[in-house]
Chains A and B, each alone.
Chain A
Amino acid sequence: MFRRLPDAAAMAARELPFTLDGEPASGREGDTVAAALLALGRRSFRRTAVSGAERGPWCLMGVCHDCLVTVDGTGNTQACLVPLRAGMVVSTQDGRREVDR
């Protein structure tokens, strides 16, 4: 869905391996979780709790609450506000959060 510019500074950023929906994935230093997912071609991050509609990020600035994913076991995390770290475990969401996740 988004691609990285071949700008020297951008390409020099360190690669960060992480797990996305159980599969190995990678992003770059300076990515938020949302940016990393967009760079990997993901458009939809979740299905809503109300109707199951697919949603992806709208604002990328912490306002719309549509980019919610589960990060390291904590559900309903705003992906655009979390800096990506190596080893993070990220999953897209389906419907309501479980009470213990």
Chain B
Amino acid sequence: MTPSPPRDAYDLVVVGAGPAGMAAAVEAAGRASVLVVDDNPTAGGQVWRAAGDGPLADGRVLGEDYMRGGGEATRAFAAASPDIDYLPGAQVWHLDDRLELGIALPGGRGAAMVRAERVVLATGALERPVPVPGWTLPGVMSVGAAQTALKAQALVPEGRYALAGSGPLLWLYAAQAAAAGAPPALVLDTTPRGNLRAAARHLPGFLRSSYAAKGLPLLLRARRAAPVVGGVDGLRIVREGEDGLLLFWMRAGREDAAPFDQVLLHHGVTPNLNLARAGGCALDWHEDNACFVPRADAWGRTTVPGVFLAGDGAGIAGAEAAALGGRIASLAALAELGAIDEAERDGLAAPLRAERARWLRGRPFLDILYCPAPRFRAAIADAIACRCEEVTGAQVVEAARLGATGPNQLKAWLRCGMGPCQGRMCGLTVTETIAAARKVPPADVGYLRLRTPVRPVTLAQIAALPRNDAERRAVERL
């Protein structure tokens, strides 16, 4: 794939080159002008990172599924390259309701503005923050980070390490790391005891799904690879000595501890919604997996006309469902562009919907089972709620009691959400912590308002943007 500098305008701009983004682009290729922008140097997104050309040629470690699924998708994407402009290593920092996008070009080559007729946001998911005391210490990372290092650079943790948290990725990584010869020394499972009961009514659907077929053997392999302690309902980490960590956990009222070189945490993934939010898309609170999701209809249309959402960014559903969602949104965009008519759109979309429904079958069970306990979703006491501004949970609670009823008021009091991560690490934590302090549901508290720039861009790059006379006069008023 030869990266190319972007033109001024495209029929369709796809943000993200993961499963959904690649599929959306391939679907539209040849039928409309397409630009794909992604911040990674190679396609695949997070879930299929380096699937095309990673250092682990051996499917034994990462699993055959990964090598097959990811490899196919990246090959199809590469094959469509004559009809797609692809910009890797570039960051989209602006999106507005006029469908103008601001893009920071790779290698510090400046910023470009691109106009789109239609936009598909396929920005995927990110891991939920895990705001336990000590989570900001060096040597503490997310499980997803460790998996990225495994896939992209064939790196495994050195020394004794622990996994703590809940969710499929925890078990997947444990199995993969074990297959690579570096199993964790301990796995702490924080899945709340009551969740299995709550998820039970979805069990039949789950058992018929491919998650069960692939997930259960994986779970067994993972559980054999390392000692597992279940029912953990408290975590904290402190430094020990020069380079070590001491991990404490609570279980049935008792606290235990053990030393490790590294601790990896994971409490599921949530939609990466910053660009959608800054672009003006409305968000809804989803109770089942305790997160905000941009509102989108069955075609992926958000509340901003012309902006579509696909993939995990529209709701966590995994890579295969994401790819199908990407194609569905692309078809809807193509119909709106006049490249296909609605009958063709509907005809092509119907089997995709059916297949996607089959992939979604197991999700409700997984969502409910692995939804982290409320006490892990809020930051307690001295645990850091906002990493960028180093604000603790206790400070958030105090401000909420003083009258900061929501995250936007709180931002003015404590600066949470003002740092470079733009709330990606603290947004959900702040909402949940305020909700717990005020004893109201998170849906009532709301989420941070976000604005340009969604990713950092330099002053010089902004200084080079085009402007008209009225805009000049708004500043030069003498």
The reply, when asked whether chain A contacts chain B directly with Cβ atoms under 8 A, is yes
By size class, the interface of chain B is 35 or more
- Inter-chain contacts of A38 with B (CB < 8 A): 149, 155
B180 within 8 A of partner (CB): yes
Asked whether, in the complex, the Cβ of A65 is within 8 Å of the Cβ of B420, the reply is: yes
Tell me the smallest distance from the CB of B155 to a CB of chain A, in Å. 4
Q: Which of B1-55 contact A (CB under 8 A)?
A: 39-41, 46, 55
Interface centre among A1, A55, A62, A76 (most CB of B within 10 A): A1
Please, which residues of chain B bring their CB within 8 A of the CB of A66? Answer: 136, 387
For A57, what are the chain B residues with a Cβ–Cβ distance below 8 Å?
Answer: 141, 145
- Please measure, in the bound complex, the distance between the C-alpha atom of A83 and the C-alpha atom of B53, giving whole angstroms: 15
> Would you call A86 an interface residue if the criterion is a C-beta within 8 Å of the partner chain's C-beta atoms?
no
Residue of A3, A55, A56, A64 with highest tally of chain B CB at under 10 A: A64
**Of the residues A32, A44, A61, contact of B126 by C-beta under 8 Å:** A61
Is the Cβ of B387 less than 8 Å from the Cβ of A2? Answer: no
Q: In chain B between 230 and 249, which residues have their CB closer than 8 angstroms to a CB of chain A? A: 243
Q: Is there contact, CB below 8 Å, between B142 and A58? A: yes
A3-62 contacts to B, CB under 8 A, are: 3-5, 7-10, 13, 28, 30-32, 35, 38-39, 41, 43-45, 48, 50-51, 53-62
**Contact A44 to B156, CB < 8 A, known contacts A64-B425, A66-B387:** no
Beta-carbon nearest neighbor of A68 in chain B: B420
**CB pair B424 A5 closer than 8 Å:** no
Output the nearest chain A residue to B181 by Cβ-Cβ distance. Answer: A5
Task: Name the A residues within 8 Å of B194 (CB-CB).
Answer: none
A9 smallest CB distance to B (angstroms): 4
Question: Given A43-B243, A56-B138, A62-B39, does the pair A7, B153 have CB atoms closer than 8 Å?
Answer: no
A50 and B389 within 8 A (CB): yes
Q: Is A88 an interface residue (CB 8 A)?
A: no
What are 14 A-B contacts defined by CB distance under 8 Å? A2-B155, A2-B156, A5-B61, A7-B57, A9-B55, A10-B56, A35-B152, A39-B153, A45-B138, A59-B127, A60-B145, A61-B126, A61-B148, A81-B39
Listed in ascending order, the chain A residues whose CB lies under 8 Å from chain B are 1-5, 7-10, 13, 28, 30-32, 35, 38-39, 41, 43-45, 48, 50-51, 53-66, 74, 76, 81, 83
Query: Which 5 pairs show the lowest CB-CB distances between chains A and B?
Result: A10-B154, A60-B145, A56-B138, A43-B138, A44-B138
